[in-house]
Amino acid sequence: MPRPTIADVARRAGVSKSTVSRVLSGNVEYMRPDTKARVEQAIAELGYRPSHLARSLTSKRTYTAALLVSDVGNPFYPEVIHGVEDVALSHGYDIYLCNTNYDVSRGLNSIRSLIDRQVDGILIMSSSMTDEWLEELVQHSIPTVVLDWVLTNPPPTVGIIGVDYRPGIQAAVEHLLALGHRRFAHVSGPLHLPTALARRDAFLHALAAHGINPSQVAIIEGNFRVDGGRAAMDELLSLPQMPTAVFTGNDMMAMGLVRASRARGLQVPRDISVVGLDDIWLVADMEPPLTTVALPRYEIGQMAMRMLLDLLKRPPASPYQQVETRLVCRQSTAAPPAA
């Protein structure tokens, strides 16, 4: 037998569809208690549950949101996803998850599909996005929240979660300086990404504030992945003068770098100090445990979803919120070699 519909309930309770609809939506101000009771009983007896679909058709609300990430396999995401999901769940929302696989056009396809499905809003946490995505979404006036993206003049339906890299990175720099380091390198993410630039610049500024000229800092462009960190190690070794401390744009590259350095006979932190960024769970018990700039990822997820819900209520908003970073000191940093 197919699911009972609202008409079945109405028939059984001897009332009209509208009456059933009213008790469902709690709109019972002018309803006789016994009528309400009859309807409720019919609902219970039939095990009736309203169809989300039909409801959405009139209400224009699907109670559905989408989360676009580059790749669920990236350890950065799980906690973010949990944060998003927990808030979503508690507001009756379900989440479409889409991996862009770092592919801009795949992402755009997903977005189109999601628009056709009338999702109420979209969370974009894929670094490999383009402004074209936003245009598409703005055009259809779909509320959107973007993580760590730079937007001059954001449209009213777009919210932004910013990351303030300064406090964490500044603390890292001061920590390294205090240990005695003077020669630094940075392994960045792909420099066409705003987030990679922000991290690099926060690092350089913090150094400059302490009298270290950015031009003395070796910058190696990486790819945010483990193998990028590995490759970077080789570049470091080919430098005329090895830096004694390296800050990597994320933890994955730090992992690759530490491994590659071990393979090259260098020991972390004795021969070289390494600081990562993200504080993914893996690095807490790496060999050695990684010193890193932590991002509150669960919080980011929650915040993003909450912002989206806000955007859904009172659209002309375009909010901006920031999360802070902080330094987590572990054992991949030490005084530079005497040399």
Partner DNA sequence: CTGTTTTCTACAACCGGTTTCAGAAACCGG
Partner DNA sequence: CCGGTTTCTGAAACCGGTTGTAGAAAACAG
321 binds, among DNA, a second copy, none (CB under 5 to 8 A by kind): none
Q: With CB under 8 A, what is the number of residues at the site for a second copy?
A: 45
Regarding 1 and contact with DNA (CB under 7 A), the answer is no
Regarding 53 and contact with a second copy (CB under 8 A), the answer is yes
Among 290, 269, 274, 277, which Cα is nearest to 335's?
Answer: 269
Residue 189 near residue 223 (C-beta atoms within 8 A)? yes
CA distance 150 to 130: 11
Task: Identify which range of 110-118, 202-210, 215-223, 238-246 contacts a second copy by CB under 8 A.
Answer: 110-118
Q: With CB under 7 A, what is the number of residues at the site for DNA?
A: 32
Closest separation in Å from C-beta 51 to DNA: 4
Q: Which of residues 17-76 bind DNA (CB under 7 A)?
A: 17-22, 24-25, 27, 30-32, 34-36, 48, 50-51, 53-55, 57-59
315 binds, among a second copy, DNA, none (CB under 5 to 8 A by kind): none
Closest separation in Å from C-beta 155 to a second copy: 16
Q: Which of 38, 91, 205, 259 binds a second copy (CB under 8 A)?
A: 259
Q: Which of 82, 166, 175, 205 binds a second copy (CB under 8 A)?
A: 82
Sign of the torsion formed by the C-alpha atoms of 141, 86, 47 and 14? negative
Structure token pair of residue 44: 């219970």
- The C-alpha angle with vertex 203 and arms to 274 and 182, in degrees rounded to 5, equals 60
Neighbours of 95 (CB within 10 A): 18
Task: Identify which range of 17-25, 34-42, 65-73, 331-339 contacts a second copy by CB under 8 A.
Answer: 65-73
What contacts 331, CB < 8 A, 6 or more positions away?
Answer: 269, 288, 289, 291
What contacts 77, CB < 8 A, 6 or more positions away?
Answer: 69, 71, 125
Coil/strand/helix, residue 294: strand
Q: Which of 216, 285, 322, 331 binds a second copy (CB under 8 A)?
A: 285
Residue 194 near residue 162 (C-beta atoms within 8 A)? no
Residue 239 near residue 218 (C-beta atoms within 8 A)? yes
Structure token pair of residue 150: 């730079």
DSSP-derived secondary structure letter, 217: S
Q: Which residues bind a second copy (CB under 8 A)?
A: 3, 49-54, 56-57, 62, 64, 71-73, 75, 77-79, 81-82, 85, 89, 92, 94-99, 101, 109-110, 113-118, 140, 226, 259, 281-282, 285, 287
Binding site for DNA (CB under 7 A): 2-3, 5-7, 14-22, 24-25, 27, 30-32, 34-36, 48, 50-51, 53-55, 57-59
